């Protein structure tokens, strides 16, 4: 089965609450690849790759986030990967 990819934007209280680190932990737990980063406008952006089950598991985590986070909106766009990542990392905008 081919890998899937989701581009995710999360808004709400998602910076300064360990959202990126917790998302990386969730991705590492299920073996997903890609990246997560803070955006200058206060949102968090992620690109998640893996099987559909792996990607959905990370998205499900991001819908709630870590303690202290308050997710107000999450936008998910599914597409075919155009670049393959080896691991999941925290990057910077």
Task: List, by residue number, the catalytic residues.
Answer: 20, 38
Q: What is the DSSP string of 18-66?
A: SHHHHHHHHHHHHT-EEEEEE-TTS-EEEEEEE-HHHHHHHHHHHTT-S
């Amino acid at each position: 089965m081919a890998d899937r990819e989701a581009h995710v934007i999360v808004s709400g209280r998602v910076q300064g609450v360990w959202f990126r680190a917790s998302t990386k932990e969730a991705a590492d737990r299920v073996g997903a690849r890609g990246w997560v980063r803070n955006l200058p406008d206060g949102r968090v952006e992620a690109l998640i790759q893996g099987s559909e089950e792996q990607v959905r598991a990370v998205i499900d985590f991001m819908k709630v986030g870590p303690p202290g986070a308050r997710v107000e909106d999450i936008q998910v766009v599914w597409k075919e990967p155009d670049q393959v990542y080896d691991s999941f990392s925290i990057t910077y905008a």
